[in-house]
């Protein structure tokens, strides 16, 4: 059986970047890592399912820059910017527990195509399961939206007590292709948990958006097809090139040889 690996982690450093961009030595690494986890957990808990795709964190000296990627910026910014001001105040209070001089800057970026974001799709399916929507219907709706937005492929896997059954099981569906072993393939992965009255149901989503080509190949595509190196020889008016007539006549200068006579052989063995 194939070993499972996170599709995003496999492609980090090749076609994907890091969600946390900073460097610490042995002294402050653990504290910064735990702080990043708490910031992401708080933002997820505050916004709810189906709103935040991912949170990128950058650190420079005592400044912490938090970039929130969301499908609904208005839900985070709030009316008149009150929501983002309150979020910045709470995050500053959280970060200053370790370093009193730290400052947090929150930026909100809109996700242009939420239908092709695996995390948002997984959370959307989980929200529907919590509202007692059929899991098959939720999966088919998500796959239809991805196809409509020109997605190359999608795979959905739901595990748990589906429809309240006493024995937990897993059900999945797939549309298009998902080349998980191709590192240059841009595959997004999302995981969400639906808290139903029967227990928790896990939702996994893989979305294939196409291949990320190397810079040289992208430059060739942008420049267009190359011109032919040499021009073809023009044809004649009748549409056919001049051909030499084929003749079986022997060369006039070659010595004639009698067909019935055998070739002379030297007694010494030389012809």
Would you state the pLDDT for residue 271?
A: 47
CA dist., res. 46 & res. 35, Å (int): 16
Would you state the pLDDT for residue 3?
A: 74
* pTM for the predicted model, two decimal places: 0.76
Would you state the pLDDT for residue 235?
A: 63
φ, ψ of residue 78 to 5 degrees: the values are 80, 175
Tell me if 159 sits within 8 A of 169, measured CB to CB: yes
Would you state the pLDDT for residue 48?
A: 85
Name which CATH class applies to 115-215.
alpha beta
Tell me if 64 sits within 8 A of 95, measured CB to CB: yes
Tell me if 147 sits within 8 A of 126, measured CB to CB: no
Q: What is the largest CA-CA distance in the chain?
A: 117
Where are the chain's structural domains?
A: 7-112, 115-215
Interacting residues of 10 by C-beta distance below 8 A, sequence separation 6+: 183
Tell me if 156 sits within 8 A of 125, measured CB to CB: yes
Tokens matching residue 123: 């959370």
Would you state the pLDDT for residue 80?
A: 85
Cα-based distances in Å from 109 to 68, 77, 114, 122, 168: 6, 11, 12, 20, 38
Helix (H) or strand (E) holding 159: strand 153-160
Would you state the pLDDT for residue 65?
A: 94
Would you state the pLDDT for residue 223?
A: 75
Identify the CA nearest to 8 among candidates 54, 72, 70.
54
Tell me if 207 sits within 8 A of 180, measured CB to CB: no
Query: For each of the chain's 271 residues, which pLDDT tens digit applies?
Result: 567 889 999 999 888 889 999 999 888 899 999 999 999 999 999 988 889 999 999 999 889 999 999 999 988 888 888 889 999 999 999 999 888 888 999 999 999 999 999 999 999 999 999 999 999 999 999 999 999 999 999 999 999 999 889 999 999 999 999 999 999 999 999 999 999 999 999 999 999 999 987 776 667 677 766 554 555 666 666 555 555 665 565 555 555 555 555 555 555 555 4
CA dist., res. 94 & res. 88, Å (int): 10
Would you state the pLDDT for residue 4?
A: 82
Tell me 208's DSSP state. E
CATH, domain range 7-112: 3.30.300.20
């Amino acid at each position: 059986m194939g070993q499972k690996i996170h599709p995003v982690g496999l492609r980090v450093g090749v076609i994907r970047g890091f969600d946390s961009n900073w460097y610490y030595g042995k002294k402050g690494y653990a504290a910064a890592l735990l702080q990043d986890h708490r910031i992401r957990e708080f933002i997820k808990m505050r916004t709810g399912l189906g709103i935040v795709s991912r949170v990128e964190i950058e650190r420079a000296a005592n400044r912490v820059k938090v970039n929130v990627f969301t499908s609904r910026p208005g839900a985070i910014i709030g009316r008149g910017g009150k929501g983002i001001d309150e979020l910045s105040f709470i995050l500053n209070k959280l970060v200053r527990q370790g370093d009193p001089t730290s400052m947090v800057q929150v930026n909100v970026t809109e996700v242009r195509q939420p239908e092709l974001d695996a995390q948002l799709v997984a959370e959307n399916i989980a929200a529907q399961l919590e509202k007692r929507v059929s899991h098959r219907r939720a999966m088919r709706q998500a796959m239809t939206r991805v196809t409509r937005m020109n997605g190359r492929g999608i795979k959905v896997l739901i595990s748990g007590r589906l429809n309240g059954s006493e024995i937990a099981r897993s059900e999945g569906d797939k549309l298009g292709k998902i080349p998980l072993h191709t590192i240059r393939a841009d595959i997004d992965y999302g995981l969400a948990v639906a808290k139903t009255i029967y227990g928790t149901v896990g939702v996994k989503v893989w979305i294939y958006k196409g291949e990320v080509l190397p810079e040289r190949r992208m430059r060739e595509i942008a420049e267009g097809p190359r011109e032919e190196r040499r021009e073809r020889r023009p044809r004649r008016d009748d549409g056919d090139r001049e051909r030499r007539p084929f003749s079986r006549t022997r060369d006039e200068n070659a010595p004639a040889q009698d067909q019935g006579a055998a070739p002379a052989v030297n007694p010494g063995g030389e012809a």
